[in-house]
Amino acid sequence: MIRVGIVGGTGYTGVELLRLLAQHPEVQVAAITSRGDAGVPVAEMFPSLRRRVRLKFEDPAQANLRACDVVFFATPNGVAMEQAPALLDAGVRVIDLAADFRLTDLDEWSRWYGLPHASPEWAARAVYGLPECNRAAIRNARLVANPGCYPTAVQLGFMPLLEQGSVDCDDLVADAKSGVSGAGRKAEVASLFSEAADNFKAYAVPGHRHLPEICQGLSRIAGSSVGLTFVPHLTPMIRGIHATLYARVKRETDFQTLFEQRYRDEPFVDVLPPGSHPDTRSVRAANVCRIALHRPGQGRVLVILSVIDNLVKGAAGQAVQNMNIMFGLRETEGLWQIAVLP
Amino acid sequence: MIRVGIVGGTGYTGVELLRLLAQHPEVQVAAITSRGDAGVPVAEMFPSLRRRVRLKFEDPAQANLRACDVVFFATPNGVAMEQAPALLDAGVRVIDLAADFRLTDLDEWSRWYGLPHASPEWAARAVYGLPECNRAAIRNARLVANPGCYPTAVQLGFMPLLEQGSVDCDDLVADAKSGVSGAGRKAEVASLFSEAADNFKAYAVPGHRHLPEICQGLSRIAGSSVGLTFVPHLTPMIRGIHATLYARVKRETDFQTLFEQRYRDEPFVDVLPPGSHPDTRSVRAANVCRIALHRPGQGRVLVILSVIDNLVKGAAGQAVQNMNIMFGLRETEGLWQIAVLP
Amino acid sequence: MIRVGIVGGTGYTGVELLRLLAQHPEVQVAAITSRGDAGVPVAEMFPSLRRRVRLKFEDPAQANLRACDVVFFATPNGVAMEQAPALLDAGVRVIDLAADFRLTDLDEWSRWYGLPHASPEWAARAVYGLPECNRAAIRNARLVANPGCYPTAVQLGFMPLLEQGSVDCDDLVADAKSGVSGAGRKAEVASLFSEAADNFKAYAVPGHRHLPEICQGLSRIAGSSVGLTFVPHLTPMIRGIHATLYARVKRETDFQTLFEQRYRDEPFVDVLPPGSHPDTRSVRAANVCRIALHRPGQGRVLVILSVIDNLVKGAAGQAVQNMNIMFGLRETEGLWQIAVLP
Amino acid sequence: MIRVGIVGGTGYTGVELLRLLAQHPEVQVAAITSRGDAGVPVAEMFPSLRRRVRLKFEDPAQANLRACDVVFFATPNGVAMEQAPALLDAGVRVIDLAADFRLTDLDEWSRWYGLPHASPEWAARAVYGLPECNRAAIRNARLVANPGCYPTAVQLGFMPLLEQGSVDCDDLVADAKSGVSGAGRKAEVASLFSEAADNFKAYAVPGHRHLPEICQGLSRIAGSSVGLTFVPHLTPMIRGIHATLYARVKRETDFQTLFEQRYRDEPFVDVLPPGSHPDTRSVRAANVCRIALHRPGQGRVLVILSVIDNLVKGAAGQAVQNMNIMFGLRETEGLWQIAVLP
């Protein structure tokens, strides 16, 4: 059994981690911390976990996280870079679900997150946890930077094209739509039901924090820098991301086959048959990315539709997938739930 | 491995059965039928099942259901009573998720369903599949009538009180609210998103088909006939039933303790601490009924709040629970998923 | 033209007041205040009002509210009782949309609102602004206490029965369901989209602040004290209240006719034909209460279904209706919008 | 008073037309037809219209539409081209809310709609009813082809750029999201609440019927043919379209000023300040298009956000606007309702 700790378990990625880990046959959740809710039983805050999670939130200062094999940080940006190094130095492996270790250019990190980085050494050693392009490095990683939700959907959608060099990398467009849980369990007016329901809007068009992460990832995949226009939107659903990707074809190939072959052995990427339109609900509560390709009017623009559950393949599920890889488990262990539809 | 057949798999209870059975370690789904969609791969209609269910819908006339150990009927009312008897006579056990075998008074059945009953013999032999009050009979049943969704939530909420005789049975009120999936996957204007979203309404107040089933069940539990006012409502969510139950106290007792003791050993009924208000989402996609009790103003009216997922504990999950009991499996086998929240 | 001031315009009742008043032919909105957002153009916070409302929020200390003919308080509970008296003494008429002046028993007020009352004199002089039972007094009122949303739906549903004495007043049940905007535009976790969407729950079953207001109103109508069990619920829609009311018949009469005659001349109460089930969307954004009656199984329980838009007939619309009465305008002036459906 | 007839009033554009026309001071709705629901009072089908619309649906064969000044067709595609010519020949003016007269290339029309066109003469004489670029022709039109919902949002968003020739017309992208009411009030599984709620998907990516209409409109505006990739999506809200438009800048200018000047005198197009993100709810139930411009990273791609209510500015409201122009009324007459928010 792997002894797991969770730092910051009161948000949506925290409760989703608990849902997955409590059902994982090789895991024992040993501790979960929350500064504000220390002493509260987890199942009191999240009654969905009654009878299944008997832990209480512990004060971070008290919790014996060093006795864990791996610690997940499900904290706001800026916490893991402060607290993870001590654990790492003590030999505990760490998976950070926040953004602290995702960017290699720390000046850029500081520009977007408004802080100096507290741990450049560990930022340099962190492995970007997108298994579909980084599996080998993850295996031995001590610190995994779990990708953001938008970056996961967008990178998986563009990846085969950029690896092959078959599209023009200067003018990529990613028009992405997210459910409201992506904003987290924070009391903010913009995320109220009465603001977000029966409504649709773009946000952060001048610049979203996931933009540098996506550009870094796509550039790495392409082997050269890419030009991307990224527009995120808020859609009135709880979970789910739908990325609609546009790329101009530079070199013809059989794109459907390209995608099918690229992802043939991936347990968590599903390329749909030609003509498909993936629903976000087809991945609800499941660790899957479903992708479909279109070539409208047989023109030069390729349209890729890529959907994930932002809390699973876009956060907690991918984190558990990374843990499975790091500890030599079957990659699908504890992650084989079927999507909940309807 | 139990060989399972499903008749009528294109509705919401059908796809939910598939979700649960495909993850059940002791089950092999051998056949699934659909008159209208014979030949279509199940996962084409329900992409959530891709890579997990490789069956095609078969024509009911072709499917070898007699080779199954148990057949689930997830068909409209009136089908099972026609088709189940031949299977039963061939030794196959049957669980009917429709209403065909739920009422013992067949005249009443005919009044509500507008048909003569096609199989009075089997109606007489059917066991009402509410495990919490009927477990022993289910064990040996050849034919189980799986309860309706409203009847499950209402009976579990009133059961301890009626067993004890502690409330006035003449004036029970059940004000129940259902998600829209309760109306099924039928193309009807009233169930359209644009009709049902951002809207709330009562329906069938003069009389709903679940009323005689609930009255029969409550009367059986109470040992005498009960008077019930039952008002169902449609609420803009996909899954979930919330029953708000009102009863006048006749004999004082510690009601919280009464409920806790009654359900202490039930794996799928969860009595919440005093003062609680169960959310339907706390049981979303899980086979659980959560119950809370209130005594507003310390008056003589007891308010019981009872929530289930109408497609799980109110349909497919309870059917699998019945199957587990019938085949001597652990009752929780394949039914131990944690609710999906948020 | 009536010069109108609004204190506290940044909540949902505030913006709804603005929507209605900006379209009212006899009104000029002269000032709107907000402590936190002074200086911000109203239409910047609520773009729906662009080109139609050119005011900025003013600091309450600066705004010249004394020059207004009437001031609406759309503030949290406890503000109007502090600030309204000075305006009233200066001859300005006041309509309070909060609860400060709704209860005549100020000890009870203090128990529910946790404060001593700041203005017992004005509390004693306030007129309860439910036009359907209090029109004459409203006409000359200097201070109107605009009813709460639940109290409006529940009182209009029970009123004809209690006036006639035809039901048992000891065991009334009001099972009420509200859209989330009833919780206001406050940043609270429980009102987040990801908490409230696709979910249904009861809340405040041990006691809701609207209970004493409803009991006071019903008792006044009945001429003697009533016994009421009131259970409010949260339903995933933005606007709307659906009250399902239960009463035992004490004296037979033609209830449909009773209701139709009672409300024949009421412009904003619509009694539906027998057998109807009013949708909340049939009153969305309109100042109407629609009511239907049922007698399930011809038993002794009468079921009344009463729907309003909580922000209109349950708040801002009723406030404007009161203003129309107070200033001798046609009661429907500025309130004749048709409900938005779908 | 203008005497108005409506053919096909049982869909969402029909009821929305009624909502607007019943509140229009210069209009009398004289007749409304429905083949299937002849004899049914309109307000029985749509209780939101109770006390406000006293008409019954009439059989199309009986209704005296020739006595009308103008007839709106709110029918499925293919009806108006059959029935409108006789009315037109009798001197009645016609506004068709369907697609029958929108395309000038009738071969293309037939390809997309699967029918030969029944009235090429009237198709040639029809005026495309987008007032912002066609006002003069509408004034004298006998037959107006009211634009589609997507075409309205997309054309208004691109118009100033194409008129000026400031963007590359070969690679326009329109990523559009629609509420579910766009699919109409037809009983179809895909539009069920349980299918469309809490879900997001693209549809018709290989080709949507609005594509040729948009291309025709944009080409006309640009003065040369354009290349457009158009991807429509379904989003879980009732009303609203959000079009996210992408164009590469060819010639620099002050785009914000360009848009503001272009639409300065338009009563129903609102250009938001720089940095804005229009919500669809800011136009809910109102006849407005709100537009915002962005230049992410100061790169060469311009992002335009354009929102409308698909049933108002995208259908019934625009039809009434066209009527106002045709009959010399103030263009805003009867269309000045403020959006319903929240």
Give the domain CATH number at C103: 3.40.50.720
Residues of chain B in contact with residue A51, where contact means CB-CB under 8 angstroms, are 270
> What would the two tokens of residue C189 be?
């976790």
Residues A110 and A154 in one domain: no
D221 shares a domain with D188:
yes
Percent of chain C with pLDDT over 90: 99
Instruction: Identify all chain B residues contacting D234, using CB atoms and an 8 Å cutoff.
Output: none
Of D278, D338, D342, the CB nearest to C52: D338
CB A168 within 8 A of CB A228: no
> Which structure tokens are listed for D271?
């250009």
| Inter-chain touch B202–C242, beta carbons under 8 Å | yes
| B54 located within any domain | yes
A179, A191, A237: residue with CB nearest C192: A191
Q: Report yes or no on A318 lying in a domain.
A: no
* Cβ–Cβ below 8 Å for C48 and D284: yes
Our CA-based measurement puts residue C230 at a distance from the nearest CA of chain D, in whole angstroms, of 27
Which pLDDT score, from 0 to 100, does residue B220 have?
Answer: 97
Q: Which of B98, B69, B105, B102 is nearest to B83 (CA)?
A: B98
- Comparing CA positions, the residue from C204, C155, C160 lying closest to residue C182 is C204
Instruction: Report the residue of C229, C234, C303 to disrupt the B interface, i.e. the one with the largest count of B CBs within 10 Å.
Output: C229
Residues D165 and D293 in one domain: yes
pLDDT at D96: 98
Question: Is A337–B336 a contact, with Cβ atoms under 8 angstroms apart?
Answer: no
Residues A109 and A154 in one domain: no
Does residue B178 contact residue B230 with C-beta atoms inside 8 Å?
no
- C contact test, residue of D53, D194, D270, D338 with most C CBs within 10 A: D338
- Closest to A266 in 3D by CA, of A331, A340, A334, A324: A331
Judge if A301 and A170 occupy the same domain.
Answer: yes
Structure tokens at A181: 């849980």
Q: Would the CB atoms of D282 and C197 count as touching at under 8 Å?
A: no
Look at residue D277 and tell me if it is in a domain.
yes
Given the residues C68, C133, C149, C289, select the one marked as catalytic. Answer: C149
Helix (H) or strand (E) run with residue D258 in it: helix D255-262
Query: Residue A18 — pLDDT band, cuts 50, 70, 90?
Result: very high
Interface of C with A (CB under 8 A): 12, 179-181, 183, 185-189, 191-198, 236-238
A236 upstream amide cis, omega within 30 of 0: no
Question: Has the ipTM of the complex gone over 0.85?
Answer: yes
Judged by DSSP in three states, B258 sits in: helix
Residues recorded for chain C: 342
Q: Which residues of D touch B188 (CB under 8 A)?
A: 187
Contact state of C193 with A198 under an 8 Å Cβ cutoff:
no
Chain C residues near residue B195 by CB distance under 8 angstroms: 342
Residue type, A270: D
- Pairwise CA distance, residues D24 & C337, whole Å: 11
Q: Do A23 and B198 touch (CB under 8 A)?
A: no
3-state secondary structure chain A: CEEEEEECCCCHHHHHHHHHHHCCCCEEEEEEECCCCCCCEHHHHCHHHCCCCCCECECCCCCCHHHCCEEEECCCCCCHHHHHHHHHHCCCEEEECCCCCCCCCHHHHHHHHCCCCCCHHHHHHCEECCHHHHHHHHHCCCEEECCCHHHHHHHHHHHHHHHHCCECCCCEEEEEEECHHHHCCCCCHHHEHHHHCCCCEECCCCCCCHHHHHHHHHHHHHCCCCCEEEEEEECCCCCCEEEEEEEEECCCCCHHHHHHHHCCCCCCEEECCCCCCCCHHHHCCCCCEEEEEECHHHCCEEEEEEEECCCHHHHHHHHHHHHHHHCCCCCCCCCCCCCCCC
Question: Does residue A339 lie in a domain region?
Answer: no
Domain co-membership, A184 together with A109: no
B118 and B178 in contact (C-beta within 8 Å)?
Answer: no
Measured over the CA atoms of residue D155, residue D157, residue D158 and residue D161, the dihedral's sign is positive
Q: How far is A12 from chain B (nearest CA, A)?
A: 7
Catalytic residues of B: 149
Q: B118-146, pLDDT tens digit by residue?
A: 999 999 999 999 999 999 999 999 999 99
Residues from chain C contacting residue B301 (CB–CB below 8 Å): 171, 173, 229
Q: What is the pLDDT of residue A283?
A: 98
d(C-alpha B143, C-alpha B125), whole Å: 7
E strands, D181-227, in order:
201-202
Q: How far is C267 from chain B (nearest CA, A)?
A: 23
Q: Specify whether A153 is located in the same domain as A281.
A: yes
Q: Confirm whether C149 is a catalytic residue.
A: yes
What distance in Å separates the CA atoms of residue C11 and residue C217, rounded to the nearest whole number?
26
Residues of B within an 8 Å Cβ radius of A: 12, 15, 19, 22-23, 46-52, 181, 185, 197-198, 238-239, 270, 272, 276, 278-279, 281-286, 290, 336-342
| DSSP classification of residue B167 | B
Q: What is the structure's pLDDT at C127?
A: 98
Nearest-CB residue to B296 (from C195, C229, C278): C229
Residues D217 and D109 placed together within one structural domain of the fold: no
Query: In sequence order, what are the residues at sequence separation of 6 or more whose Cβ sits closer than 8 angstroms to the Cβ of residue D263?
Result: D132, D160, D269, D270, D271, D291
Query: Any idea how long chain A is?
Result: 342
Q: Collect all residues of chain A within an 8 Å Cβ-Cβ radius of residue D205.
A: 277, 294, 296, 303, 305
Phi-psi region of B298 (alpha: psi -120 to 50; beta: other; left: phi over 0): left
Q: List the one residue out of D297, A128, A96, A119 whose CA is nearest residue A110.
A: A119
User: Taking a C-beta distance cutoff of 8 angstroms, is the pair C125, C212 a contact?
Assistant: no
Contacts of B204 (CB under 8 A, 6+ apart): B232
Nearest chain C Cα distance for residue D105, angstroms = 34
Chain B residue at shortest CA distance from D342: B198
Distance CA D262, CA C328 (A): 45
Percent of chain A with pLDDT over 90: 99
Please count the residue pairs, one from chain A and one from chain D, whose beta carbons lie less than 8 angstroms apart: 142
Tokens of A135: 């599996």
For residue B336, the model assigns a pLDDT of 93
Beta strands in D118-221 (DSSP E): 127-128, 143-145, 172-178, 201-202
What number of CA atoms fall less than 13 Å from residue D331's CA on the CB side?
A: 18
Residue A217: its pLDDT value, please?
98
Nearby residues of A86 by Cβ (< 8 Å), 6 or more positions away = none
Over residues C219-236, mean pLDDT: 97
With CB atoms and an 8 Å threshold, state whether A189 touches C191.
no
Q: Which residue has the tokens 């909340």?
A: C280
Chain centroid to CA A86: 24
pLDDT in tens, A72-100: 999 999 999 999 999 999 999 999 999 99
Q: Which letter does DSSP use for residue D273 in this model?
A: P
The answer to whether A338 contacts B19, with C-beta atoms less than 8 Å apart, is: yes
Residues C75-125: tens digit of each pLDDT: 999 999 999 999 999 999 999 999 999 999 999 999 999 999 999 999 999
Alpha helices (H) along D26-130: 42-45, 80-89, 106-113, 120-125
* pLDDT tens-digit readout, A53-78: 999 999 988 899 999 999 999 999 99
Number of domains, chain B: 2
What pLDDT does residue B69 have?
Answer: 98
- If asked whether residues D206 and D303 sit together in one domain, one would say yes
**How far apart are alpha carbons C283 and C273 in whole angstroms?**
16
Among candidate residues A68, A133, A149, A169, the one labeled active-site is: A149
User: Within this chain, do residues D118 and D164 fall inside the same structural domain, yes or no?
Assistant: no
pLDDT in tens, A287-341: 999 999 999 999 999 999 999 999 999 999 999 999 999 999 999 999 999 999 9
Question: How much is the average pLDDT of C270-274?
Answer: 98
The model's pLDDT over A46-56, given as tens digits with 9 standing for 90+, comes to 999 999 999 99
Amino acid (one-letter) located at B112: W
| pLDDT tens-digit series, residues D101-132 | 999 999 999 999 999 999 999 999 999 999 99
pLDDT of residue B150: 98
Please, what is the average pLDDT of chain A? 97
- Is C315 in contact with C16 (CB distance < 8 Å)? yes
Cβ distance C341 to D278 less than 8 Å, yes or no, reads no
Closest chain B residue by Cα to residue A49? B338
CB atoms A242 and D200 under 8 Å: yes
A14 bridge partner residues: none
Rounded to whole angstroms, the Cα distance separating D36 from D14 reads 14
pLDDT (average), residues A258-266: 98
Q: Which residues lie below 8 Å from residue D334, measured CB to CB, with a gap of 6+?
A: D20, D21, D23, D24, D25, D26, D27, D320, D324
Give the neighbor-by-neighbor strand order of the sheet with D172-178: D201-202, D228-234, D172-178, D241-248, D301-308, D289-294, D269-271
Predicted local distance difference test score (pLDDT) of residue D95:
98
CB D340 within 8 A of CB C340: yes
Q: Are residues A225 and A287 in the same domain?
A: yes
Backbone angles phi, psi at C284, to 5 degrees: -60, 120
C-beta separation of B40 from B56 below 8 A: yes
* Residue A78, in any domain of the structure: yes
pLDDT tens by residue, D175-214: 999 999 999 999 999 999 999 999 999 999 999 999 999 9
Residues B265 and B208 grouped into a single domain: yes
Residues of A with CB under 8 A from a CB of C: 12, 179-181, 183, 185-189, 191-198, 236-238
Model confidence over B279-323: pLDDT tens digits?
A: 999 999 999 999 999 999 999 999 999 999 999 999 999 999 999
Range of the domain at A12: 2-125
List C202's β-bridge partners, or say none.
C233
Min Cα separation D193/chain B (Å): 4
Q: Does residue A320 sit within a domain?
A: no
Q: What mean pLDDT do residues A186-198 have?
A: 97
CATH of the domain at D168: 3.30.360.10
Closest residue to B52, CB basis, from A49, A272, A338: A338
The stretches in chain B having pLDDT less than 70 are: none
Query: Does some domain include residue A228?
Result: yes
Residues of D with CB under 8 A from a CB of C: 12, 15, 19, 22-23, 46-52, 181, 185, 197-198, 238-239, 270, 272, 276, 278-279, 281-286, 290, 311, 336-342
Question: A47 Cβ partners below 8 Å, 6+ apart?
Answer: B272, B276, B278, B279, B282, B290
Q: Is residue D113 part of a domain?
A: yes
CB within 8 Å: C194 and A181: yes
Widest pairwise Cα distance in chain A: 62
Element (H, E) at C14: helix C12-22
